[in-house]
Chains A and B, each alone.
Chain A
Amino acid sequence: SQTIHQWPATLVQPVGSPLSLECTVEGTSNPNLYWYRQAAGRGLQLLFYSIGIDQISSEVPQNLSASRPQDRQFILSSKKLLLSDSGFYLCAWSPRTEYGYTFGSGTRLTVV
């Protein structure tokens, strides 16, 4: 069966520091991968999605970037965090040829 791993679970970082959040999927190949952000009490904002190793689309221009160094690994990064980057970051995956969208357990980021 397929599983999605996301870490760390919580993170407190100072303004201006870098960020790296990692997500991996097991038990499948060539998945679609996504990064979402959820501000406190708000909806789900799609940040990046990838349908292949060299195919990453950005939905919202900002100081975040995403990379996919391996087929089942998706990384969210920032060189310099802003206070407004605080939120609940969720990785998700979907199969290439079937419906279904599964979220990771999330990373709660607080920028101080």
Chain B
Amino acid sequence: GENVEQHPSTLSVQEGDSAVIKCTYSDSASNYFPWYKQELGKRPQLIIDIRSNVGEKKDQRIAVTLNKTAKHFSLHITETQPEDSAVYFCATSFGNEKLTFGTGTRLTIIP
């Protein structure tokens, strides 16, 4: 089955700096790549996603890039703010069935 590796497991950045989280996957058939943000004690919530026919997608301070040849995709957060502190999960799927999640990155924004 699909295997998703996520790095780093923890990340601390100064407020205002950028944060980058990277995921690699094993199944070349994967075609959907979402990112979820989970605040402490809450449910994971979708923040951005990308499909395999697109190389990059942006939504304000958040962007995701996809390299299908190398089988990796990354989350970029610019101008980080304290409310960006959370655990971030990447995921992959083929079609709209079950997602395989990465192990998560705990992002801490230092004021």
Question: Once the chains are docked, how many angstroms separate the CA of A103 from the CA of B46?
Answer: 9
Is A103 in contact with B98, judged by CB distance below 8 angstroms? no
Residues of B within 8 Å of A102, CB to CB, are 46
Is A101 in contact with B34, judged by CB distance below 8 angstroms? yes
Partner of A103, one of B45, B100, B104: B45
Partner of B96, one of A43, A44, A99, A106: A99
- Interface centre among B41, B44, B49, B89, by most chain A C-beta atoms within 10 angstroms, is B44
Is B46 in contact with A43, judged by CB distance below 8 angstroms? no
Q: Indicate whether A99 sits within 8 Å of B51 (C-beta atoms), given known contacts A43-B102, A43-B104.
A: yes
Partner of B43, one of A49, A59, A105: A105
- Which interface class (under 10, 10 to 19, 20 to 34, 35 or more) fits B? 20 to 34
* SS of A interface (majority): loop
- Which interface class (under 10, 10 to 19, 20 to 34, 35 or more) fits A? 20 to 34
CB distance from B36 to the nearest CB of A (A): 8
Is A94 in contact with B102, judged by CB distance below 8 angstroms? no
Chain B: which residue is nearest A106 at the CB level? B43
A residues with a Cβ closer than 8 A to B are 32, 34, 42-44, 46, 49, 51, 59, 90, 94-106, 108
B residues with a Cβ closer than 8 A to A are 32, 34, 41-46, 49, 51, 89, 91, 96-104
20 contacts between A and B (CB under 8 A): A32-B98, A42-B103, A42-B104, A43-B101, A43-B104, A44-B44, A46-B99, A46-B101, A51-B97, A59-B98, A90-B43, A95-B96, A99-B51, A100-B46, A100-B96, A101-B34, A101-B91, A101-B99, A104-B43, A108-B41
